[in-house]
Amino acid sequence: MMKISTLSWVYLVLLILYCFSTNNKCLLTKAQDDTSTSTTSGGSSSDPPPAEEEPKPVSKEQENCNGIFLTYDFSSKEKLYPHLKNATAQPWSFMSTASIVNMGLYEVKAWQMFIGFQNGESLVSAEGATVVDVEGPPYKVGKNGTSIVGATKTDLKTAVDTAGDYEQMQAIINFKGTMFGGSQNSKPMPKSLKLQNDGFKCPAATKKGGQHMYVCCTRDPKVKLKNSNSKYMPRTYGDITLAYDVLQAYPSKYLAQVTMKNNHPLSRLDRWNLTWEWQKNEFIYSMKGASTHEKDVSVCIFGPQGKAYKDMDFSTVQSCEKKPIMFDLPPEKIKDEKIGNIPYCCTNGTFLPKQMNETKSQAMFQLEVMKLPPDAEDRVDISPPLSWKLNGQLNPTYKCSTPVKVDPSEFPDPNGLDATVSAVASWYVTCNMTTPKPQKAKCCVSFSAYYAASAVPCPTCACGCEDNLPKCDAKNEPLPVPPNALLVPFENRAVMAQQWWKLKHKKDNAPFPKKLPCPDNCGVSINYHLESDYKSGWAARLTLFNWGQLPFQDWFTAIQTKQGYLGYENVYSFNGSRMANSEYTKNIIFMQGLPGMNYLIPETNGTRPDKDPKIPGKQQSVISFAKKGTKVIDIPAGDGFPTKVFFNGEECAIPKTFPKKNGAIRSQIGLLPALVVALLTFMLMVPLNW
């Protein structure tokens, strides 16, 4: 007895001495150990350092909160090298902690917190959470703040369900980051703090004592969750929705199926690329119905994957990338037992609006995902990939949500029995089209009219111009041109524009501009020509031009025209129809190619490639409108022009002005030399019904 206690005394004294000599490192090491072990064992991070044995007493504010209680605490700050004289440029490192506790009656599924960082912070790590919608690490959250979701602890149970077990009711996130400027004593705090889950509302956060901030969010009684029996979030609308369904789960791997559905009547994807980010070093063992652009097996061999699966032959692995880029297979693979043979797959990455073809408005593929320890021990430990991004060739731009856990999807029984089978678990992502910013369009519109000699070409730089000071004028309006100039590539228009200028400025002798306006740089342009105006009606002609190198199969176009919608009669060479007025489709006439004419070929060489200009792929049709039922229409004043034009779902840049009335000449666009496109001439010969 004596011996032992003497020994332990000696030990203690030695330990204290050691602590002093190493500048309190033993305390810190212990705290760090705590956090690292607890994250690996399921993400429940302990309190920030200095760690405490006893749980912190619950604050008054938290006690008074009957909802979800969020906090943010600034912990510490340290000057980083280089030490600069200029205080604004001085980098600092900082540590802070956020927490989220469920003090309410309802479980919170897939919590998502917004932290309104405002001091140009850059997060190096966010232990216990995943930063969404920002590339990183480091996550440059800038002055806009960021959203975070639980890394492993995605759901917060209630005290009632857990007998008050904080482990299951709360999540703690430890941030480490850098920032610039400020003094030694300044404690930069975020602007705001809130819970972003549907059905909750948060008042403005309260700041206390300069480095503490909290808010109590409560359920919004006005928002009723659709399926109140469900434990999960409801599936909401998205222009495109993606389901991540786990079909089979084993401890170390699972089979997931991704289903994409197109819900917007004007949304479409071609040659889609889908990418996401694995959270736990997962890798794709195999794939059916889609493939990945790169394999990069070395990531696995030299990474944690190689350590976890020492005996695996990684040369046969589909993809080891953290952010794999996936794409659809070509139609040849549709029956391929090994990599194809999945419903809705293998269309070269095209999915269309539902109204064109319901079957073609979906896409699907399957992947076998390998997990790494510690998640590889339990089949229920599945973390879906985050940061989903979807894009395609000449398609609308989409912004996607973080995956939300939803009720497991149900499928018809694969054995043909009259039954349904459920997925093991399902996540759901919505992607919405975003309006293109000016100069970010992918197609553009030119206007011309029977009453005007000059056409209004596509806006300058409609689809962007190179930044490095082009030789052309990116700011100026395009020059007026004769309508037939719209038939040739931009580089061939300069001479025509100059001759036209001379003709138009005979009297005033205005000098031709030295620096010409830049091109539109669009792969697709659309000419909208007002063709005639008579007592009972009017007609327009729409011509699609493909200046790109790839064809468009199953193309569609749509015009928004308030006057034209009411009086719409017929589109002669396309399959046209008025769309039902809805939130997304107001006064829209939808047009697609007739069977056999649904192909817009790419640009081709002229007959003598060295001399003749290149020839765009073209499709053309006349549209007729009646005047009865519509108000007074002043066609020469521009009433006949559309307010919006879409091509393959993408909204096209449209001119700001209409052609000016100055002596009628016959438009040249309809009068193509028979040589150029025999097809077009044939279409123009199609008799019109008036």
Ligand X SMILES: *[C@@H]1O[C@H](CO)[C@@H](O)[C@H](O)[C@H]1NC(C)=O
Least Å from the CB of residue 167 to ligand X: 31
241 interacts with ligand X by CB under 6 A: no
DSSP string, 444-476: EEEEEETT-SSBB-PPTTTT---SS--SSBSSS
Applying CB under 6 A, the span of 405-413, 435-443, 493-501, 605-613 interacting with ligand X comes to 605-613
Contact with ligand X (CB under 6 A) among 82, 209, 595, 673: 595
Query: Per DSSP, what are the bridge partners of residue 275?
Result: 325, 389
Task: Find, among 217, 22, 26, 15, the residue nearest to 112 by Cα.
Answer: 217
Secondary structure of 520-555 as H, E, C letters: CCCCEEEEEEEEEECCCEEEEEEEEEECCCCCEECC
Query: Quick one: 569 exposed, middle or buried, by C-beta within 10 A (0-12, 13-18, 19+)?
Result: middle
Applying CB under 6 A, the span of 30-38, 260-268, 394-402, 504-512 interacting with ligand X comes to 394-402
202 vs 55, 196, 208, CA distance in Å?
26, 9, 17
Q: Judged by CB, which is closer to ligand X: 501, or 584?
A: 584
341 interacts with ligand X by CB under 6 A: no
Which residues inside 410-449 make contact with ligand X, applying CB under 6 A? 430-432
Q: Judged by CB, which is closer to ligand X: 215, or 329?
A: 329
223 interacts with ligand X by CB under 6 A: no
251 vs 206, 369, 372, 424, CA distance in Å?
44, 11, 10, 13
Query: Per DSSP, what are the bridge partners of residue 585?
Result: none
> Which residue, chain included where needed, has tokens 């195999």?
286
Least Å from the CB of residue 82 to ligand X: 12
Task: Find, among 193, 190, 195, the residue nearest to 121 by Cα.
Answer: 190
Contact with ligand X (CB under 6 A) among 203, 331, 343, 513: 331
Contact with ligand X (CB under 6 A) among 203, 330, 470, 513: 330
Give the integer Cα–Cα distance in Å for 90 and 77.
12
292 interacts with ligand X by CB under 6 A: no
How do beta strands 443-449 and 524-533 pair?
Answer: parallel
Phi, psi of 647 (to 5 degrees): -130, 125
Contact with ligand X (CB under 6 A) among 39, 196, 279, 391: 391
686 interacts with ligand X by CB under 6 A: no
Least Å from the CB of residue 426 to ligand X: 17
Determine the straight-line distance between the first and last CA of the chain, rounded to whole angstroms. Answer: 115
187 interacts with ligand X by CB under 6 A: no
293 interacts with ligand X by CB under 6 A: yes
Least Å from the CB of residue 439 to ligand X: 15
Task: Find, among 265, 197, 194, 202, the residue nearest to 234 by Cα.
Answer: 197
Q: Judged by CB, which is closer to ligand X: 145, or 480?
A: 145
Contact with ligand X (CB under 6 A) among 5, 23, 86, 229: 86
164 interacts with ligand X by CB under 6 A: no
Q: Judged by CB, which is closer to ligand X: 605, or 657?
A: 605
605 interacts with ligand X by CB under 6 A: yes
Least Å from the CB of residue 13 to ligand X: 51
The conformation of residue 483, written as its DSSP 8-state character, comes to: G
The conformation of residue 490, written as its DSSP 8-state character, comes to: G
146 interacts with ligand X by CB under 6 A: no
Contact with ligand X (CB under 6 A) among 142, 251, 408, 537: 142
Applying CB under 6 A, the span of 231-239, 241-249, 361-369, 418-426 interacting with ligand X comes to 231-239
Which residues inside 567-586 make contact with ligand X, applying CB under 6 A? 575
- Amino acid identity of residue 396, one-letter, is P
Q: Which residue is nearest to ligand X (CB)?
A: 142
- The number of beta carbons lying within 10 Å of the beta carbon of residue 592 is 22
Size of site (CB under 6 A) for ligand X: 36
Residues lying near ligand X in the complex (CB under 6 A) are found at 86, 88-89, 140, 142, 144, 236-238, 271, 273, 293, 325, 330-331, 348, 355-357, 359-360, 391-393, 399-401, 430-432, 575, 594-595, 605, 609-610
